Structure 1
Amino acid sequence: MATAWDRQRAALREEITETARTLFVEQGFEATTVDQIAQSAGISRRSFFRYFGTKEDVVLGDLNARADAVARALEARPADEDPWTALRAAMLDSRSETFTDVRSDLALSRMMRDTPSLRARKVEKRQYWSEVLTPLVAERITEGDVTVRAAAVVAGVLACVDIASDVWVESEGTADMEAVYDEAVTALRG
């Protein structure tokens, strides 16, 4: 059970995140400084770094939590479901906290795609996804080298997610991400 201190800390972290994201959308990622974020959030620069290791983590910080949510959803899927179907369903089941404000989500997604430091940090955080999901997918594979096959499935799914996101960004948020993801998976598995 979370203590009052934990809830207060989480609320401040969320406030810093929202402040930073607003500045990123208004000014651009590179043009926004940690000092501006701290000042706008009413905290010190030092306090900012108590909550976030880097400016990139403000944008990407919850990727690990999202991976954990997908892992929980994957564990809850029927054991006899094939890995591709189970992962797709788990990603859909766990996405309730994402894509809540299309304008902001579109701007942040474009930023993640177009900013080299964000792309690099995303790759680092995606390694965690592989580490968390691969063993769960391996449990669903019954032939061949299950570890290699599971790692390949997870890598394929993440690549298809990235493709769907890129198409969504290019379409200014009008593309159906699920349909694009399904088309990418079909191409990959074909």
Structure 2
Amino acid sequence: MRNEEPTPGLRERTRRAVHREVAEVGMALFLERGFEETTIDQVAEAAGISRRSFFRYFATKEDVVLGDLADRGHRIRAALAVRPPGEQPWEAVRAALLALRDEGPVDTDAELRITRMLHGTPSLRARHLEKHLAWQEVLVPELARRLRGPDDPDGVAADHRAAAIIATALACLDVASETWLRLDGSVPLEQLWDEAVAAVRA
């Protein structure tokens, strides 16, 4: 049985609320004016906080856009951990990735605008790739645990297979996202990911 996480206290709930509000304000400004054209001072002023307070919540301007990406990786890992034990690795990874899209309604237009900004801004693109590497660090051990068998006591083979699958899955996600943008979201992202994976596995 997994231990339930303790309910956060008032201070932590307040911190999370402010963090979320600043992120929403910043994202609105970035989409309206452009990421590179919007300064940290402008985000802080619009959010009603000081520049110094901004850095209590975000280390960089890029983190306003990508700050929760690392947390998404942990949520994917948690979704992967509860997949049925006998499920094939690719099916388990697919289901874990889709779990993010099941967390709430999807605003395709907003996602398109954000993804265009992400792919069109070099600093955001670089940080996005960096965060995906962080995803690999948390996902590979979980998938390797599922792949380890009695003929692999030290887990080397499982680690190798898991690293290859996760790296390929994330590369296919990037390729699918690029195609999704070119098609203006007319084809579901998960369908494009399935097609990319099928091409690799053919």
Give the structure-1-normalised TM-score. Answer: 0.95
Q: What is aligned with 2:164?
A: 152
**Alpha-carbon distance in structure 2 between the residues aligned to 1:97 and 1:57:** 21
User: In the alignment, residue 68 of structure 1 is paired with which amino acid?
Assistant: H
Q: Percent identity?
A: 49
Q: Over the residues paired in the alignment, what is the CA RMSD in angstroms? A: 1.5
Structure 2 gaps of 5+ residues are: 1-6
Q: What is aligned with 2:79?
A: 73
Q: What is aligned with 2:3?
A: none
Larger radius of gyration: 2
**Alpha-carbon distance in structure 1 between the residues aligned to 2:33 and 2:100:** 30
**TM-superposed deviation, 1:22:** 0.4
Q: What is aligned with 1:114?
A: 120
User: In the alignment, residue 96 of structure 1 is paired with which amino acid?
Assistant: D
Q: What is aligned with 2:29?
A: 23
Q: What is aligned with 2:93?
A: 87
**Alpha-carbon distance in structure 2 between the residues aligned to 1:83 and 1:53:** 35
Q: Which residue of 155, 179, 182 corresponds with 2:191?
A: 179
Q: How does 1:125-140 map to 2 (within 5 A)?
A: 125-140=131-146
Structure 1 gaps of 5+ residues are: none
Q: Which residue of 31, 36, 44 corresponds with 2:42?
A: 36
Question: Number of paired residues?
Answer: 190
User: In the alignment, residue 30 of structure 2 is paired with which amino acid?
Assistant: F
Give the structure-2-normalised TM-score. Answer: 0.89
After TM superposition, what 4+ stretches of structure 1 lie above 4 angstroms from structure 2?
none
User: In the alignment, residue 34 of structure 1 is paired with which amino acid?
Assistant: I
**TM-superposed deviation, 1:132:** 0.4
Q: Which residue of 23, 46, 56 corresponds with 2:52?
A: 46
